[in-house]
Each structure stands twice: as structure tokens, then as C-alpha cells.
Chains A and B, each alone.
Chain A
């Protein structure tokens, strides 16, 4: 079931809001779409990576001499082939990365910091030879004690990963190195006073495990460096301009020498915003003077590309008897993996964002551990902190005997609410979402045996950023649209629709492509739910620039002043009777006169998009818990979320459903499991269990549309919020189905069974894990 709740009084659209066929559809269902590993260059070599078998070890020496003389080996690179980088933070998606760390993540320098950490890379004429060469590389390791857990890593006697890391954000600065990269704090009001006023206070500690983005397409790249030093890169990525920037920096090359083309991308969810293979492939290609192709296998994806943080979260909330929250406090400890930069900051900012509160305090710690460096994963940081906060809100509602939707309505953020992290919200759709939930058939349906229903809210900021779009009017009146944010969820379709809307043409007349880095101005990556928002904004601007130009051309042709020409219903027309009698012209007519009125017509927009607006969601989950096995089945699920304006409703629904499914996996099954030596035990889809079709129910959606006043069509990003509410909604449902409240993810069958047994043994007392 798919529904829409509209709150847009004025604007009528012709194309936006309909469901045309996507331009990339036919290629995708026939196998013609070219993904990262589908590209091939004549004479290409195969590149492979040697990885550390140890979670933490000093690298005393790397001897490649035997490998280098193996017939068929054409190039080898190690730490010696990359210059060290100074400390400098640059944005990558919603997170920051430090070049000193990026170079070390691509190839270990002083130490291997996680199992799977790249040590060397080889290019050879066949995969077999490349593998043989890896076996011949001798690495002299001094194995060191390791630490995996954030709480453990914060202890004074924990093994220290970076001997020079002094915690930032603490005054006076500590004198000793530790694994805590940074402490952050957001405070509003007076929580002491707030808690004093509370009738009920609930305080809980939660633990979550790292989970992987789980894109089905592994990382893949082909790089070719020619004799004059110019390079071509073909790669599966969420941001090819970012790939270009990072590679140029790590290799010390001019940015203009690297041309990066983004292939079709087989899922990213934040994980394809990082460079892993690209600098290696370029360095190998330069040395070997041949193209080099590198593809990760699934094990490497799990072991060495970034999951999101596992975390320890403590939350305390106080409320009045009527449900009004008077104080909220949280402490978040997020694993960053081998290098600093966990999403703990957005985690802190999101924690209480759905609520209009006076007294809030959130403290976060960014903690390094001997795991792969975390990467962004859909709303990075938000799902973890909001899971904990929403779970406590649910428990308070239960203690007070309040309906959980009413409890949230009492406290919901709305237009004018000041968020604990600073800004005042503009128009937002949380109250509308909660009302829609309350009235939904799902919320009011009866439950079966062993079933329970939970609800939770969620928030994500969304971002804008640098964006360029170019729109060419072709000789026959069709349009070529170039954008630079890789299409992960139907972007090309949405952009064509916006161009068609603006220009009054049929959407099939607009052919969109994702341009390479040398063919279009700079574009920041696809992330932060920005692509439909920012590239959409640039598309509308480019289209408007084209309309202006069309008017100029008509005024020349008709020999009347520009202000006597107007654009209406997809045509240039004389503005009034005084303008004379001229036949109105559509873009097809304009295209024909382009040459003789001033040359080709191109609409161009290069902007930093501002005005991204947050999207709030509300999820309802029904869980059935088998009392014999502890297995939880989600029997019904509904996603309600504010899209501002759904450009292509089917793709908005697709984002809602996909995010919810990932959240269901996070809640019930997915986790990284390590052995005592810090080696990952489940680096495959068999043991890292993501939801399959038979695990899931139909996922209903309700699109709420409270327009974003700062976008020409009211659009909000929608891609990330859907992964925020599921964990708390499902935990609440499991509580009602099983009688046990769990404080740890995933809620896997053995844990649930143990929890239910404990409750029985305690005669119904509360059990925790």
C-alpha cells in the first residue's frame, strides 16, 4: 500500500510527481548497464592487494624482491611509493577525512591497524600470477596487542593505536596519547534543573555492533596512465570528483591530469565515498605503463572497506506525568575503526532532534579501534543515537501509560523549534507524520498471537553543496542533460523530470547522463541525500537560463525588445499586442534558429546549493517472536516520511523501503563478529546475514509532503532518514511481543531466547542483555 499526504496549497505540476519510466531501466534489466567490474581495456593487468593478517602489528620490513622477479609481474607498490601527508581535514560526504590518515588507510605505513589493512599491491598479467606474487612478498611484523571495543579502547591501559594522538576538545589537553580522538559536547538549557522537575526518569545503556552498507557490487576500478602522465580512471563511486581530488593529492599529480568516469554504481549507501583501490591502481599503472584493473572480492569488502560504527550509548530522559519531556542527556562512544572520524558528531546532533526540548546535554567520543576505518552509512551516526533515545522514549511512554504516538506528539519538533545542535527548524513534517501514523490502517489493525507493535521517529539533516549541471539544446529540439552526482536511486529520471517540467517538453526528450570529471564543472559527491536536491536545483537553474536565452533569440529574430518576449506553457511568445504578431516558438523551433541568432544554446548552472531541509520519518513495525526459538519475524511494516515534494514517487517509496529493509537487518541480524585475535569471522553473505526476500513483509509507505520553501519545487532529500527509525521501532515491537526490553543490537534469536528465559526465571521482572 502506498499513500501520500500533501500539504502543498498552490503549485500544480505537469511532470513532477508522476511516474515516468526511468531512462536507465532498459539497460539494467537486459544486462547492458556497465558497472565497475564490467569495464575492460586492451592489455590491462590484474591488480591485487596484500593485506595484513594481524589486527595490530608494527611493520618492520617489506621485502618484495622475490615477487618482483616472478615472470608476469609488472609492478609492485608499497608504502615507499606514496609520500607521507601532513594532517589536513577535508570533507567527504557528511564526514571529514584527514589526508594523513587517507594515505595510511590506502597502504599501511608504520603499523598495520586492522586485519585486512593493505600492505602492498601487485599488478601482473593474470590473476594467478598476481596471487602468487602476493605470496612471495615477505612482511616482517611485530604483532601488538589489539583492541576492538570503544569502551575497552578508552581504558587507560588499552593498547594505543596512534602514539601521537591527543584527545581534541578537552581543556586542558591531555598530556598522554590515547585512543580517544575527540570529545564533543552539545548543551542547551539546564539539565540538572530539568531532571529535578521530572516525575519519571529512565536511564539506560545500549550497545550496537558495526554493520556494513552491504552494497552488492564490490569495489572495482580500471586505471590507465599514459606516457605523458595523464590518467583515465573508470570506477564505481558515489563521487568521482572526490576520487580525483584524493588521488591527485596522494600521488602528487595535477588534478587536471586525472579524468574520472563514474560507472553505473551497484549500491553505495555511503560506503563508496572513500578511496581504497583507486590510488593503488593509478600508481601501479604508472609504474607498469599499462592499464590496471582491480576488483575486491566479497571478503575484502567486508574486511577492509568501512562498515559503520559499533557503539556504546547511555541515555537518560526525564518527563512529567503528562508525557512532556523536561530533560534529555546522552553519552555516545563510537568506534571509528583504525583512524579517527566516526560519525559521532552527527550522532550527537541527531540524538534528540525529533523533540522540542529545553534542556539537553549530549557528549560524544570518537574512539579508534583495530577495525577497518568506518565509512559513511546512510544517515551516518543518526540511527545509533536515535535508536537509544527512541527506545527510552518508548519506555517512558509505557511507564506513564501513554500511547507512544501521543507521547511523541506532545514533544514533537515543529517549525520554530530550536534544535539542541543549534538551528531553528523551518517548516518540517514530523507532526504530520505522527498524525498520519495515528490514522494509518496499520496502527489500527489487530495483532496476532506473539506479536507486538512498535513505533519510532527519526531525523536526518540533508546537505547541499557544490553542484554543476549543463543542459544542451540539440539541433532537433531534444535536450542533453549532464549532471555529476552518480545516480544511485533514480537521479537521472528525477533530473529529466525537473528539466521537462521547467521547459515544457516531454520527459522522453531529455536524455540525462552522469558526466566525467573533465567534461563538467566540479560536483561534490552523492551523499547526505543531496543529489536530487542539489542537482535538481542546478537543473532547474540551468533550464531557466536556457529559457532566458530562448527569449533573447526570439527577440533577435522578431526584432523586438527582450521585455516584449515572454515564456509561457513551453513556448516563447510576444508579450502583448504591442509586441507584434509572431508565431509562438517551442524549443524545437528555437533550436532551428540557434545558429543564425547567436550560436548553440546551453543552459548552465554551477552553484553551491543551500537550503537543504531536514526530513523526519515515523516507522511502525509489527514483530512476531517465536517463544520456542527466539526468532523474530517482521510481519508488517509502514514507513511514513516527509519528502517535501516527491519528484518521482516510486523512487521515493523505493528509498523508504530500501532503508527500512537495511534497518530491519541492523535490528535483527547483522553484525561483525571477531575472534580473539581480532580477525573477522564472518566476511561473507552466508554468515553476515542481510535480509532476503522471504525474510521481509511488504513495506507500506506514506509520503508526507511539507514543501521545503528553499527549493524551487519544495524537494527535501529522502534517502537517509528511512534507516534511522527501524531499530527502535522493532525493539519496541519485540518488547511488546516477548515481554522483554532489549538494549543491544542485533536482537538475534539466541539473545531473545535468553532474555525471555531470564524474564520467566525472575517471575516477570525486567531482563536486560
Chain B
């Protein structure tokens, strides 16, 4: 059964037609074409589908589209501040924290959520915050470095 879901996506009010069995990930990728959010496993084990749901990181593949009704969703497409990349995004580029880049959108969201909560996390806290985001390319080193540097840089003073 199709139904209309009303929610806010990246700051815009949206009305989206969705099937009752669609996940939030299907809604984002297939219904409105926001393909920045990835599907690495479809069952909650890889973190490539991470989005902010009312400010909290969730696996979009585990959320039913219907549950998004009335929610505020932020995807990777909504992280940059206008034309300016978020410090986390910038740092991932400069520190070589993205190789193939498939895990990157999920990592960015998890890191942004962490830094929103905690201005100067320890390496341990960073590693735990992204423990749900599998990366097979980097060994995580340069990702951790990037998030650490984003925390100590402009992000601390960013809006």
C-alpha cells in the first residue's frame, strides 16, 4: 500500500509517496534520488546508510519509511554549510580519510553526530562513535586522524 509521508529532509519540507514496506533508505535513494546515502548490507551491519534522524545517527535501512513521518532527516547531501564543506568533510579529504569513498557518507554523519555531542573527543571515543561504520580500505587510521583534527579546528567555533 502506498501512502504519503511528510517529513523534513535536509531542511526542506517534503511529501513523498512510499510503499508500506519501504525503508527510509529506499525512500531516500529510490523515491527522491538522494543516492549519497549508501546500501552496503541492508540489515544494520555496515553503517553506510547512516543519516541523522531528529539529530541522532540511525541506520536508514532499519527504519521504516512510515516512521519518518514528521521527523527531521539530514543526509550526507545536507551536511555542508552552503558552499562550505563541514570541517569533518574537509578533514577527511586533507587527511586521506577517504579511499574508495563508499563508507565516507556514513562516516561523515557519525562523526558530525559525535562532534555535535562532544567538542573534543578522545581517540577512543572517536573509534567507538564510528564502530558501526565498516571501512575496508583505510584501516581507520586516517579517518580517526581526520575527525580528531576536525574537532580541534574550525568546527569547534562553527555554527
Contacts and interface: CB of A to CB of B under 8 A. Distances in A.
A28 B101 contact: yes
Contacts of A654: 96, 99, 137-139, 142
Contacts, number: 173
Contact of B48 (A213, A216, A490): A216
B17 interface: no
A692 B101 contact: no
Given A658-B138, A693-B127, A33 B144 contact: no
- The dominant DSSP class at the B interface is loop
Given A21-B93, A216-B136, A685-B45, A266 B36 contact: no
Contact of B77 (A24, A31, A37): A31
The listed residue with most A CB atoms (<10 A of its CB), out of B46, B95, B98, B136, is: B136
B140 A217 contact: no
A323 interface: no
B32 interface: no
Contact of A21 (B94, B137, B141): B94
Contacts of A21: 93-94
B31 interface: no
Interface stretch (B1-9, B65-73, B103-111, B151-159): B103-111
A698 interface: yes
Interface in A36-60: 37-38, 40
Given A658-B99, A684-B43, A31 B136 contact: no
A217 B127 contact: no
Nearest to B146: A29
Interface string A290-314: 0000000110000000000000000
Contacts of B108: 29
Contacts of A34: 35
Nearest to B129: A693
B89 A30 contact: yes
Interface string A17-35: 0010110111111111111
A586 interface: no
Given A298-B43, A660-B139, A490 B134 contact: no
Given A31-B77, A216-B48, A693-B127, A265 B138 contact: no
A692 B132 contact: yes
B41 A298 contact: yes
Contacts of A516: none
A35 B131 contact: no
B93 A266 contact: no
Interface in B46-71: 46, 48
Given A25-B98, A658-B138, A32 B36 contact: yes
B23 interface: no
Interface in A692-710: 692-694, 696, 698-699
A661 B140 contact: yes
Interface residues of B, number: 56
A30 B90 CA distance: 10
A694 B139 contact: no
Given A21-B93, A216-B134, A654-B142, A31 B128 contact: no
A38 B3 CA distance: 25
Contacts of A19: 96
Given A31-B77, A218-B40, A685-B41, A694 B136 contact: no
A653 B40 contact: no
A686 interface: yes
Interface string B28-46: 0000011111111111011
Given A658-B138, A661-B139, A28 B131 contact: no
Nearest to B77: A31
B45 A657 contact: no
B92 interface: yes
Nearest to A489: B99
A489 B138 CA distance: 9
Given A215-B136, A266-B102, A693-B127, A699 B141 contact: yes
Interface of A: 19, 21-22, 24-35, 37-38, 40, 213-218, 264-267, 269, 297-298, 488-490, 650-651, 653-654, 657-662, 684-686, 690, 692-694, 696, 698-699
21 contacts: A21-B94, A22-B93, A26-B93, A28-B93, A28-B101, A29-B92, A30-B36, A31-B77, A215-B136, A216-B102, A217-B40, A217-B100, A266-B101, A267-B102, A269-B136, A297-B41, A653-B142, A661-B136, A693-B133, A693-B140, A698-B141
* Closest A-B pairs by Cβ, 8 of them: A31-B36, A266-B102, A28-B101, A657-B139, A661-B139, A31-B76, A25-B93, A685-B45
